[in-house]
Structure 1
Amino acid sequence: MMTRTWLITGIGSGFGRIMAERLLGRGDRVAGTVRDRAAVADLAAAYGSRLWLDVLDVAETDAIAGTVDRAWAALGRIDVVVSNAGYGLMGAAEEVSDAMIRHQIDTNLLGSIMLIRAALPHLRAQGGGRILQLSSMAGQAAFAGGALYHATKWGIEGFVEAVAQEVGVFGIGCTIVQPGGARTDFSRRSAQVAPMSAAYDASPSRMVNHLIADTAHPPAGDPVKMVEAMIASVEQEPAPLRLALGSDAYRVMRARYAERLICLEAQRDVALGTDAEERAEGDAAWFERHRKVAPAPALQRA
């Protein structure tokens, strides 16, 4: 297995911390970002120059490009960019404040977008690489009480799916990682919970409050196994567009995909009946012809 250099945001805890530990332990180099260097002081002491660090809060989107440029300048080449930093904002849409909404979007959605955009010129210049974007089963299945979190994850999935089509021709592969519940500190330490309004006590949105408060039933997902699967995905050719992790993620997303297909099929006649008859066939043929101009995903390389 070849030695690689990785750029990972948010290595202070959770998946990012576990990934940095595993990669450094096997001899890879890591450029990691943290909001507080003290969180990784032990890793810095243990691995010296193989761990490059920068202080970054991805919600401060104007700072992201500078961090990415400095990492490439210091390390020369970065093979894998892991957009990991993020958190969950929980509560009914009416309960969360405007400031909470803006910070959630700045962190999870705009922060991830700006990280990937900053990395792309470097990846193109070096002839390719990989991007791993941490999403969630929440990027495909929505539940009451997580509307703003879902908005960021559904948004970043659409962004990365489109970018993957744009950059495959440059040898850049993109993978959207969709973990289910994992035994990290994400839900209980990294989640921000909106103040509860009595008006929503009877709403299904209250489920998330009970879930966060319930420490007696840990999630099924093993975060170490999940990280190992993320790392292993970089060896796959072509890059898998999506990587589902956890039995709950598989079960929930499979059920939602099936529900959507049933709903779509029920609307077939309505959908087909709203085309302009004289142009419908020509427009469809034009789209398919131009969509296939770029090389297929199978031509992506690491």
Structure 2
Amino acid sequence: MTHRTWLITGISSGFGRMMASTLLARGERVAGTVRNLDAVADLKEAHGDALWLAVLDVADFNAIRPVIDRAFAAWGRIDVIVSNAGYGLFGAAEEASDEQVLHQIATNLLGSIQVVRGALPHLRVQGGGRILQLSTVGGQAAFPGAALYHASKWGIEGFIDSVAQEVAPFGIGCTLIEPGGARTGFRYRSAQLAPHMPDYDTSPAAHARRMIEAQTAVPPGNPERMVAAMIASVDEPMAPRRLALGSDAYSAMHRQLTERLAALEAQRELAHSTDAPVMW
């Protein structure tokens, strides 16, 4: 087994904690960031020097690069960057406060961008590495009641798609992780709801609010299997650009991508008709 060093943001819960625990248990080294060190005291006690920790709120994106620099200085080489920290804001777009909108974008989009930008100089100098960016089924498919969450995830998907092409010559591979619903605390513990506007009670946006408030729907995804697939993707010679995890993710993305492609095909003649005349 090849032992690597990983940097993972947001290891206090969910996929981040599960990935850190799995990697440490098999003898790999982890540099992890958290907002509260007490949340990972048990991991530190169990794994000692194999776990390097730093306090970081990725919404404070000016603080990200110094933490990444310290992690590389501590380990010398980091093979895999996992940009994991994030959360979901749910409710109709009009319901969300300006502060909620800014914090969602700062955390999921700007924070993730800064994590990648902060790691790239180190990965280039060391001659390569992998970047895993946690996205979601909601990075390719859109649902009512999650407009701001989608904005952050569609944004980071476009960013990673472009960056992957820019850094491929340096031996750096990028993978977007697109899980569907998983049995972590994402939906019922870390998710935030926009203030309620009764006007939207009859809107499709209300479905997301009702689901989160009821806390009864059980997501289909097994987080242990999802994390195992994320880790296994790093062993592939060529980094997969996207990793769809969960039958719900596959179904939703397949349906919406098929519909979008059909709509594009229907506009083929219109698209070509707007070109400037060819001048000979």
Range into which the TM-score falls when normalised by the shorter chain: over 0.9
Matched letter for residue 192 of structure 1: Q
Amino acid of the structure 1 residue aligned with 2:206:
R
TM-score normalised over the length of structure 1? 0.92
What is the match of residue 194 of structure 2? 194
Is 2:39 the partner of 1:64? no
Residue matched to 2:9: 9
- Counterparts of 1:33-48 in structure 2, within 5 Å, are 33-48=33-48
Tell me how far apart the structure 1 counterparts of residues 115 and 199 of structure 2 sit (CA, whole Å). 39
Q: Corresponding residue for 1:149?
A: 149
Deviation, 1:51, is: 0.0
Equivalent residue for 1:51? 51
For residue 182 of structure 1, what is the amino acid of its counterpart?
A
Q: What is the identity, as a one-letter code, of the residue corresponding to 1:72?
A: F
Q: Deviations over 1:183-211 (max 9, x none)?
A: 00001111110111011111100010111
**TM-score, scaled to structure 2:** 0.99
Q: Who is 1:251 aligned against?
A: 251
DSSP 3-state at the match of 1:201: helix
The answer for the alignment partner of 2:235 in structure 1 is 235
Q: Secondary structure at the match of 2:132?
A: strand
Q: 2:94, 2:275 → 1: CA distance?
A: 37
Contact 2:137/2:178 (8 A) holds in 1? yes
Q: What amino acid maps onto 1:119 in structure 2? A: A
How many residues matched?
Answer: 280
Amino acid at match of 1:205: A
2:177, 2:273 → 1: CA distance?
37
Q: In 1, distance between residues paired with 2:186 and 2:264? A: 34
Coordinate RMSD, CA, aligned = 1.0
**What amino acid does structure 2 have at the position aligned with 1:263?**
A
Query: Structure 2, unaligned stretches of length 5 or more?
Result: none
Residue 206 of structure 2 corresponds to residue 206 of structure 1: yes
User: Equivalents in 2 of 1:176, 1:209: separation in Å?
Assistant: 27
Deviation at 1:217, TM superposition (A): 2.6
Q: Following superposition of structure 1 onto structure 2, how do residues 125-164 of structure 1 map, counting pairs within 5 Å? A: 125-164=125-164
Q: 2:94 and 2:259 mapped to 1: Cα distance?
A: 27
C-alpha separation in 2, matches of 1:160 and 1:212: 29
| CA distance in structure 2 between the aligned counterparts of 1:258 and 1:61, rounded to whole angstroms | 36
Shift of the alpha carbon at 1:158? 0.3
Q: Give the 4+ runs in structure 1 shifted more than 6 A.
A: none
Deviation at 1:146, TM superposition (A): 0.3
One-letter code of the match for 2:201?
A: D
Q: Is the 8 A contact 2:97 2:195 kept in 1?
A: no
Q: Contact conserved, 2:44 with 2:51, CA < 8 A, in 1?
A: yes
Correspondence 1:81-100 to 2 at 5 A? 81-100=81-100
